[in-house]
Amino acid sequence: MADDSFDDCFSTRQMVDDPFEDGRDARQRLMQDLDYQIAEKKRLEELRRERERHEDRLLEENIARQQKQMEDEYQREQMVKRMKEEQVCVMEEWQVGVMEERQVSVMEEWQVVVMEEWQVSVMEEWQVSVMEERQVGVMEEWQIGVMEEWQVGVMEEWQVGVMEEWQLVSQHQAVDSIIDLEGTDRTVLGAYLSRTGSE
């Protein structure tokens, strides 16, 4: 019984005063602290990497957004430019079309006016020419007719007058000739006078 109590006392004292046991506990705590620190460092490193990845993603998204805005702005500018060019083109085509239509209309009106004036001028010239020709023709015909009538009348009057004068002169000459004849038979003179008078 005495030996048993001695062993128990020795065991209890060894448990309390064993320096090796304290060293093992400290080492274990140290190891645990090191493991914790390593794990915490890994966790912090992972958080840092995650944050960097998030920042990089945000930066990439921001860059992509800016690029998209720039592309949209460029496309909008190009669309506005193209619309302005199309408007200018349409306006120029419209102006050209309107100008051509106005030119055609003015040309047609000018041609109509010129044609009407030309027709009027030609008609007036033709009428004047025809009137002058008709007047000249009528005048010539009238002059010819008057001349012929006048010539005929004058010729007839002249012939009649000349004939009458010739007859009178012939009668006087015959009478004078007969009177100058001495011893001429009066019957011959009477016959002659009666013959010339009948003519």
Summarize pLDDT for 154-170 with one digit per residue, the tens: 667 777 776 677 676 66
- 15: Cα separation from own chain's centroid: 118
Helix (H) or strand (E) holding 54: helix 19-180
Question: What does pTM read for this prediction?
Answer: 0.32
Cα angle for residues 6, 9, 11 (degrees, 5° grid): 110
Better-scored residue on pLDDT, 17 or 108: 108
Is the pLDDT at 111 greater than 50? The verdict is yes
Residue 1 predicted with pLDDT over 60: no
Query: 177 CB contacts (<8 Å, ≥6 apart)?
Result: none
pLDDT score of 7 = 53
pLDDT at 95: 77
Give the span between the Cα atoms of 31 and 25, in whole angstroms. Answer: 10
Q: How confident is the model at residue 191 (pLDDT cuts 50, 70, 90)?
A: low
